[in-house]
Amino acid sequence: MLSRRTAHGLDWLFFFVADLQTGFGPFIAVYLTRQSWTQAQLGLVLGIGTVSAMLAQVPAGMLVDSIRGKATAASVALLGIGASAALMAWSPAFWSVTLAQVVHGFASCMLNPALAALTLGLVSTAALAERLGRNARFAAIGSAAGAVLMGLCGTYVSSRAVFWLAALLCVPALFALRSLRRGTASPAAAQLPAIPPRESVKDVCKDPRLMAFLACTLLFQLANAAMLPLAAVEITKRSDQRASLIIAACILVPQMIVALLSPFAGRAADRWGRRTVLLVGFCALPARAFLLSVVTNPYGIVAVQALDGLGGAAFGVITPLVAADISGDGGRFNLRMGVLGLATGLAATASTIAAGAIATDLGSPTAFAALALAGICAVVTVAAAMPETRPVLAPA
């Protein structure tokens, strides 16, 4: 059972981590555009950041697996993210921004599995699902708060100040991490037990349960990633002056739904199984894509985006749960998280490229229909191929 101090420490850690990561989203484009960057330069540096993050997923996961102290790994990753934000704010030159993007990509690939592993080391198996749901809740609240705070900072101070703020937010995140170390019963309690890896990389990659969930992950991201960018284009066409506010609402509404539903998703995963929760969340994909293909009112699009929160809550909670379930005592949890992270990046990139091409040639309704088809394939894959990974717990 977690102490109250440790539980609140995890809450604040996930809140501040999500808060500071918000600056590396749309605010980069705003900042660099105001620094007279061309669309080609912006696309190139963002592409470099995306590719470097995808390439870093598996090596970063293996590195975190090899570091006994997961809190140490998380601290190093947080310092890397803070340094990349400060570097971007200090100089908007091409090479400094490119370096910042690469450092941020690798640090983020370390941070996410390190935080999941840290939670796994602090929480009992019986309480893990509910704790992961609570983590997702505070991360969603942090993302929403970060969007508002950085939006106000960018509007009333400067776009450069957004990244100084992001770097500054590393400080409370590090303090929250430090409180976990002090709030545990022993210095070793804030890290996973020292179990030597017993699985080879080859064995991990041959795991049929991982392959099944990998297929589900690919199809989920293929259907999901391009929906908001396509919807944003349609919103911009229909409401010029209000577009930014409506798009912000399209981001905030799903985050609030994730914050509301994530703890329930964790409890449901223990009660009804991982596969059932995943299936319910995935059903939101084709429904959302179909509605976006027919709804034209910008405010109606905001309402449809609430379905993104349902899918996000289910997928966000179940992903580390499944990775923990199938890792067992083999010591390869972070490698599995890295493989799933790589699949997420590849599928998201393919989704935006393919949907953009379809929308350009055949129109947005056709692109949304294609995403709905990918969503249906994701639901079918979960129903037909995804095994139940929930461990059978011995009675107390």
Q: What is the 3-state secondary structure (H, E, C) of 69-87?
A: CHHHHHHHHHHHHHHHHHH
Record: fold of 198-391: Growth Hormone; Chain: A; (1.20.1250)
In this prediction, residue 222 carries a pLDDT of 92
> For residue 81, is pLDDT > 90?
yes
pLDDT in tens, 282-292: 999 999 999 99
Q: How far is CA 335 from the centre of its chain?
A: 16
pLDDT in tens, 120-135: 888 877 778 888 888 8
> For residue 195, is pLDDT > 50?
no
> Which residues 6+ apart lie within 8 Å of 119 measured at CB?
10, 128, 131, 132, 135, 320
Bigger pLDDT: 153 or 12? 12
In this prediction, residue 60 carries a pLDDT of 83
In this prediction, residue 331 carries a pLDDT of 63
Highest-confidence segment of 138-152, 176-190, 208-222: 208-222
> For residue 15, is pLDDT > 50?
yes
Residue 330: pLDDT band (50, 70, 90) is low
In this prediction, residue 393 carries a pLDDT of 54
In this prediction, residue 395 carries a pLDDT of 44
Q: What average pLDDT does this structure show over 292-313?
A: 89
> For residue 382, is pLDDT > 90?
yes
Per the listing, tokens 């609402």 go with 249
- Spatial distance between the Cα atoms of 8 and 3, rounded to a whole number of angstroms: 9
Q: What average pLDDT does this structure show over 246-250?
A: 76
Structure tokens belonging to residue 257: 């739904």
> For residue 396, is pLDDT > 60?
no
> For residue 150, is pLDDT > 70?
yes
In this prediction, residue 318 carries a pLDDT of 92
In this prediction, residue 295 carries a pLDDT of 87
Per-domain boundaries in the chain: 1-194, 198-391
Answer for the pair 111, 81: CB distance below 8 angstroms, yes or no: yes
In this prediction, residue 394 carries a pLDDT of 45
Q: How far is CA 270 from the centre of its chain?
A: 22
Q: Over the chain, what is the mean pLDDT?
A: 83
> For residue 197, is pLDDT > 60?
no
Q: What average pLDDT does this structure show over 201-213?
A: 84
Answer for the pair 282, 314: CB distance below 8 angstroms, yes or no: yes
Highest-confidence segment of 74-88, 156-170, 198-212, 250-264: 74-88
> For residue 160, is pLDDT > 90?
no
Q: What average pLDDT does this structure show over 183-201?
A: 47
Q: What average pLDDT does this structure show over 214-227?
A: 91
> For residue 190, is pLDDT > 50?
no
Q: What average pLDDT does this structure show over 265-288?
A: 92
Question: Largest Cα–Cα distance of the chain, in whole Å?
Answer: 64
The answer to whether 1-194 and 198-391 have equal CATH topology is yes
1.10.8.100, 1.20.1050.10, 1.20.1250.20, 3.40.190.10: CATH of 1-194? 1.20.1250.20
> For residue 143, is pLDDT > 50?
yes
- Whose CA is closest to 297, among 254, 358, 237? 237
Residue 370: pLDDT band (50, 70, 90) is very high
- Spatial distance between the Cα atoms of 295 and 234, rounded to a whole number of angstroms: 10
